[in-house]
Amino acid sequence: MEYKYFLVDIKDQVATVSINRPEKANSFHMPAWKEMKKIFEDLDQDENARVVILKGEGKNFSAGMDLQTLMNLGEFQNISGEARKREALRGFIVTLQECINAIEECRKPVIAAVHGACVGGAINIATACDMRFSCSDSFFTIKEIDLGLVADMGVLQRL
């Protein structure tokens, strides 16, 4: 299986999925979110994999949402009508939730191997896994709280 933002290797029925954007602290932009969803849907059906390990390449598990993606949220302001703006934002959030839900819905056990930063959306990803293991250098933070936002991709329900 070839992917652009992830490395996927299946050996001895263990699928290792590596978030592969170390130059961006393994942060997620929209193409990476969608690719992750596809990976877990594919692994769910793959008879060669019996367990999945999710990890990050480089120094961090993941910095969560790519800042450029967050800055692009301002585009919703260009939509006319308050209801349309809110519906567009809701659609964006639902898309992200579906990407994370693909991990939770995968019928193979999914293990998060966390090292370094696990920030914001990355905590959503880790909590969607069946098990989480972390190194002594790991740190976790839900940055939405510091910004006065609701953590709305499922992390609170999964905690």
Write out pLDDT tens, residues 69-80.
766 766 767 788
Token pair of 118 as six digits: 């696990």
Q: In this structure, what CATH number is given to the domain that contains residue 44? A: 3.90.226.10
Please give the tally of structural domains in the chain: 1
* 1 falls within a domain: no
Q: Which letter, b or e, does each residue of 105-114 get, where b requires 16 or more Cβ atoms within 10 Å of its Cβ?
A: ebebebbbbb
* 110 falls within a domain: yes
Neighbours of 60 (CB within 10 A): 25
For the segment 128-153, the average pLDDT, to the nearest whole number, is 82
- Contact (Cβ atoms closer than 8 angstroms) between residue 31 and residue 68: no
* 145 falls within a domain: yes
pTM metric for this prediction: 0.88
Token pair of 101 as six digits: 């839900």
* 142 falls within a domain: yes
* 128 falls within a domain: yes
Position 87 scores a pLDDT of: 85
* 141 falls within a domain: yes
In terms of residue numbers, what domain contains 77?
6-158
Token pair of 14 as six digits: 């263990």
pLDDT digits (tens, 9 = 90+) for 26-50: 999 999 999 999 999 999 999 999 9
DSSP label at residue 28:
B
Position 114 scores a pLDDT of: 98
Position 89 scores a pLDDT of: 80
